[in-house]
A and B are shown apart, each in its own frame.
Chain A
């Protein structure tokens, strides 16, 4: 009885799949800032526990700090009173837009079948704003260099919008993580909500204008659609430059 069968090769250790890596048990003990960037699910789990209130406050402060930080870069373009007006308007505008869109987010999250309360949805929204603010600060040096190198509103405004939109879409994963965390059965309406939030923020920049450029007034009270405002700004700049 000569058994010639080669011994079976040892089974290789299973490689951790990306999903397990996301659910690293160490995520739960990481600081809030780390969780915000690395493991949104662990951050959202805070809203089910005793740290919920403190976490909401921390996220709100982080969102404010991030937007104010980027606002300083925006304000550096015009200088003068825009040093304080631009950060104030950007932070205020983001929070106002978030407040206006909160009820529709609550409706959409509820319609996804997620087992959430208003506090959970508020947490998701503040976490998204905080993440956007943090990512904006990351882009601040790049935006600052452009702000100091150009005098064209028509160039810088789209640049700032682009940076903000990239930061916003990169932060949208927090909403998706929230739906998964609270066992949503479907998430089809989130892109629609993001579009509503985006358009509201764009209109808010027109309502609170001037944010980037200068004006004699702190606010321009004329009611206007943001697209009309953009078209007028570009046409003014073209006229001014061709007049030169």
Chain B
């Protein structure tokens, strides 16, 4: 565990060589370690995210957030390798997936850094039974959007650096990162829709999943919202 923390610290301190060693690491540990970081750090942040609505939702979101990241990476695994190759990257499929998993691990680590502050605000602002609950709900929602956006930006920038280090001859590593980001956003948004609730609407029951998790898509709901507006 201390060795894992040290390696993750090196990645956090923007040492691309540390990430390269991790991506090229053979054996099961090369897969399990990023997954472990995603599971632990994602659970910590997920707990802070669900804490405003109820302790039970905190537990559910602590389980669901790492699941969202795993499923997104797994669903896109083939596309990462294929499109990486199509855009001139010479990395094996497994290394492409490990680059993405490592960037998810980095994002989860950054989010875990925000978890104490956001968890504190979740418990300090007006609760879900307060008449002004919506105000706290929206404020916390914005804070989570900002935290996720910041963690995502940092992870994507770092991912581009790792790819340049892993394949210095690839001329379109920036395009690869952008394409992978697009894939993650498209699938991640839909899976997050299927796995809702995350934040907990104050007038709805706490549940692990909504009654019909596969009814509709994220994009249909956005379209409906725009149309309704």
Residues of A within 8 Å of B14, CB to CB, are: 110-111, 113, 185
Residues of A within 8 Å of B109, CB to CB, are: 107
| Given contact pairs A107-B109, A113-B13, A101 touches B124 in the complex (Cβ within 8 A) | no
Contact A106 B113 (CB under 8 A): yes
Contact B124 A223 (CB under 8 A): yes
Rounded to whole Å, the gap between the CB of A131 and the closest CB of chain B is 22
Give the residue of A102, A110, A223 whose beta carbon is less than 8 angstroms from that of B9. A110
Give the residue of B13, B115, B127 whose beta carbon is less than 8 angstroms from that of A223. B127
Give the number of chain B interface residues (Cβ < 8 Å): 25
Give the number of chain A interface residues (Cβ < 8 Å): 25
Residues of B within 8 Å of A207, CB to CB, are: 124
Report the bound CA distance from A100 to B125 in whole Å.
16
Contact B135 A101 (CB under 8 A): no
Using an 8 Å CB-CB cutoff, how does the interface string of B136-172 with A read, 1 for contact, 0 for none? 1001000000000000001000000000000000000
Using an 8 Å CB-CB cutoff, how does the interface string of B100-128 with A read, 1 for contact, 0 for none? 00000000011011111100110111110
Contact B123 A107 (CB under 8 A): no
Contact A103 B124 (CB under 8 A): no
A154: Cβ under 8 A from any B Cβ: no
| Given contact pairs A110-B12, A185-B14, A225-B136, A203 touches B114 in the complex (Cβ within 8 A) | no
Rounded to whole Å, the gap between the CB of A48 and the closest CB of chain B is 16
| Given contact pairs A107-B110, A113-B14, A223 touches B116 in the complex (Cβ within 8 A) | no
Contact A100 B13 (CB under 8 A): no
Residues of B contacting A: mostly: helix
Nearest residue (CB) in A for B132 is A228
A115: Cβ under 8 A from any B Cβ: yes
Contact A104 B125 (CB under 8 A): no
Residues of A within 8 Å of B130, CB to CB, are: 223
Contact B117 A115 (CB under 8 A): no
Report the bound CA distance from A119 to B121 in whole Å.
26
Rounded to whole Å, the gap between the CB of A105 and the closest CB of chain B is 8
Residues of A within 8 Å of B116, CB to CB, are: 99-104
Report the bound CA distance from A206 to B120 in whole Å.
12
Rounded to whole Å, the gap between the CB of B48 and the closest CB of chain A is 11
Beyond contacts A107-B109, A115-B13: 16 other A-B pairs, Cβ-Cβ < 8 A, are A100-B120, A102-B116, A103-B112, A107-B110, A111-B14, A116-B13, A185-B14, A200-B120, A200-B121, A203-B120, A203-B124, A223-B130, A223-B136, A224-B124, A225-B126, A228-B126
Residues of A participating in the B interface, judged by any CB pair closer than 8 Å:
99-104, 106-108, 110-111, 113-116, 185, 196, 200, 203, 206-207, 223-225, 228
Residues of B participating in the A interface, judged by any CB pair closer than 8 Å:
9, 12-14, 109-110, 112-117, 120-121, 123-127, 130, 132, 135-136, 139, 154
9 A-B pairs with least C-beta separation: A107-B113, A103-B113, A110-B12, A100-B116, A104-B113, A113-B14, A110-B13, A207-B124, A100-B117
